[in-house]
Amino acid sequence: MRLRADADLGRLRQRLRQLLPNASPFVITRILTVASELGRNALVHGGGGRCDIRPPGPGLRLLRLHFADDGPGIIDIGRALGDGYSTNGGLGLGLGGVRRLSETFEIDSAPGQGTRVRVALAC
Amino acid sequence: MAQVPILRIGDCLVVTVNADLDDGSALTLRDDLACRVASISARGVLIDVSALDVVDSFTARMLGDVARTVSIMDAETVISGLAPAVAMTLVEMGVTIPHTRTALDAQGGLRLLGIVMESARERGA
């Protein structure tokens, strides 16, 4: 789904809640938090972007989320993943926190080439 | 964008944050609370978040901003009703909300702010 405004983050969270009606509150909260952080990054830093939701296959317990934007990209990914680093006055815990909450975490970004983040979350 | 109502109880302000507050509403709430604290010389602010199933770093920062702002204005902030899953996720993320005290529920939060609710039954006893 497209992420173009604040309201899209709410829609993304709502879709994820509907997708996992039987998940425990701990699972839901972790997934919604990751989606919020990455979705907001795409909005604020990427000027808007996309999120693909890959529901768990039969017998699998991993939900995959792929975020992409065509924004300015991240100059120093190592620093961006470190706690306390922020370019927008935020807490600077978003990306590092997302990595801690995810089973797998991949980020692909370079200056001028946008940012793609792929996470897998236990569900 | 939904506006969050701010209730006055004694010299405290009370808000209940609805499920899924959007970012714009969160910032409006922060600003409204600061203005109301000044206009009634509030001593405390209670923010009940029991309806939230997600508090991300943006919301946490908004709550921390409210708390820091009103603490400069000589009022204190209590956050009540953090769900266990939300609390655990904040810890896993490494997010803290400085300048706040927390209570399990709104009643406990009011008590922390010095507002004691006495039921009719307790009065009669």
CA–CA gap between residue B25 and residue B90 (Å, rounded): 21
**Residue-level pLDDT at B3:** 77
Q: Where are the domains of chain B?
A: 6-124
Count how many residues are written for chain A.
123
- List of residues 6+ apart from B85 with CB closer than 8 A: A24, A25, A26, A28, A29, A30, B53
From first to last of its 123 residues, what are the pLDDT tens digits of chain A? 999 999 999 999 999 999 998 999 999 999 999 999 999 999 999 999 999 999 988 888 899 999 999 999 988 888 888 777 776 656 566 788 899 999 999 999 999 999 999 999 999
A39 touches chain B (CB under 8 A): no
Nearest residue on chain A to B83, alpha-carbon basis: A25
Prediction pTM value: 0.90
Is residue A46 within 8 Å of residue A70, measured between CB atoms? yes
At A15, list the tokens. Answer: 């879709």
User: Residue A91's pLDDT is what?
Assistant: 58
From the first residue on, what is the mean pLDDT of each consecutive set of 10 residues in chain B (125 residues)? 85 91 88 94 97 93 93 96 96 92 96 85 70
Q: Do A100 and B94 touch (CB under 8 A)?
A: yes
B9: tokens are 């109880």
Superfamily of domain B6-124: STAS domain (3.30.750.24)
DSSP-derived 3-state class of residue A69:
strand
Rg (CA), chain B: 14
Interface test with A, best of B49, B54, B99 (most A CBs within 10 A): B54
Partnered with residue B102 across adjacent β-strands are B79
Pick B93's closest partner by Cβ from A13, A28, A100.
A100
- CA A15 from centroid of its chain's CA atoms: 14
Which pLDDT score, from 0 to 100, does residue B2 have? 64
Q: Cα(B86)–Cα(B5) distance, rounded to whole angstroms?
A: 23
Burial class from Cβ neighbours inside 10 Å (0-12, 13-18, 19+) for residue B104 reads exposed
Considering the domain A2-122, what is its CATH architecture?
2-Layer Sandwich (3.30)
The DSSP line for chain B is -PPPPEEEETTEEEEEPPSS--HHHHHHHHHHHHHHHHHHT-SEEEEE-TT-S---HHHHHHHHHHHHHHHHTT-EEEEE---HHHHHHHHHHT---TTEEEESSHHHHHHHTT-----HHHHH-
Cβ-based neighbours of B9, under 8 Å, separated by 6 or more: B110, B115
**Chain A residues within an 8 Å CB radius of B24:** 6
Q: Is A60 exposed, middle or buried (0-12, 13-18, 19+ CB in 10 A)?
A: exposed
Residues forming a β-bridge with B47: B15, B79
Q: What is the pLDDT of residue B125?
A: 59
Q: With beta carbons under 8 A apart, name residues in chain B contacting A25.
A: 53, 83-85
With an 8 Å Cβ cutoff, is A96 touching chain B? yes
> Residue B41: its pLDDT value, please?
95
pLDDT of residue A78: 82
- SS3 category, A40: helix
Q: Tell me the chain A residues in contact with residue B93 when contact means C-beta distances shorter than 8 Å.
A: 33, 93, 97-98, 100-101
